[in-house]
Structure 1
Amino acid sequence: MSPQGSVGLLSALARLRDTLDQKPLQYAHVLVLVANLDGISFKKVGVLTDLSKSTVSRIVDWFVEQGLMTAYEIPGDRRNKAASLTQKGREIVEKASKACR
């Protein structure tokens, strides 16, 4: 990687870290899953990350408060919710992804 690429990557990672407000790595993991699997259920996030449903819910709630995700009931399954990125969330993930390329 070129020096300029390294600077870009470090800058993107710093922005992501600032966005995550020093949260544990599980927050980044959930963010990446929702970014790659739009409309993923909380249950599936829990299975893929080995996190409890309440932990997934707390993490997604934090992202919703930050304006990075939306959470909604899955039609026909009121006991389970799904998450998607907002435009702001997609922009942050895209900037970090570009810097990593």
Structure 2
Amino acid sequence: MSERQDSPASNAEPVDPLRVWFRFIRLSRRVTAAVATELRELGLSIPQFDVLSTLSEREGLTQQELAARLYVTKGNVSGLIDRLVEAGLVERRPIPGDRRSHALHLTEAGAEVADRGIAAQADYVARTLGQLDETDLRAFEDLVVKWRELARADAAS
């Protein structure tokens, strides 16, 4: 990569939102690949970790609720849950009065793996994003929140 591509644009140049978008997407892919490598060492894929970490925050979700939280289809979650149940990391528990749905819970082993995955992510974030100073980190958070709100408004229109 040339020096021009590696360094941010100077303040004298107009900022091209499309260029920023592509940088953001490439960064997202790089970060995702790095975290995926660390999770593979724990025997997990990113989607499996997403399920475990979500259940570590809120156990007892149904597959439908979990799918909504992960922004995927119920069918995608179903296969993931099947594999995690087979691996002894998640269990389905009956919901009284609801014969069609089950509450999803981590097993003891699932909670341990989720904790190790969360720690691996926290270590990666500390080594990378955590190296930004407080001012830059706050500015980045503000921008991400603004962008999220614009994306939500666009989706609602």
The alignment's TM-score, normalised by the length of structure 2, stands at 0.48
Structure label with greater radius of gyration = 2
Q: 1:7 — aligned with what?
A: none
Unpaired runs of 5+ in structure 2? 1-33, 124-157
Q: 2:115 aligns with which of 73, 94, 100?
A: 94
1:64-75 pair list within 5 angstroms:
64-75=85-96
Higher relative contact order (CA 8 A, sep 6+): 1
Unpaired runs of 5+ in structure 1? 1-9
Q: 1:17 aligns with which of 28, 31, 40?
A: 40
Q: Which has the higher strand share?
A: 1
Distance 1:67 1:32, change over 3 A: same
Distance 1:86 1:40, change over 3 A: same
Aligned residues of 2:88 and 2:107 also touching (Cα < 8 A): yes
Q: Does 1:28 align with 2:49?
A: yes
Aligned partners of 1:87, 1:17: CA distance in 2, in Å?
20
What's the % identity of the aligned pairs? 30
Q: 2:101 aligns with which of 80, 85, 93?
A: 80
Read off the aligned partner of 1:39 and give its amino acid letter. G
Instruction: Report the Cα offset of residue 96 of structure 1.
Output: 3.0
Q: Figure out how many residues of one structure are paired with residues of the other and give that number.
A: 86
Aligned partners of 2:49, 2:118: CA distance in 1, in Å?
13
Q: Does 1:50 align with 2:71?
A: yes
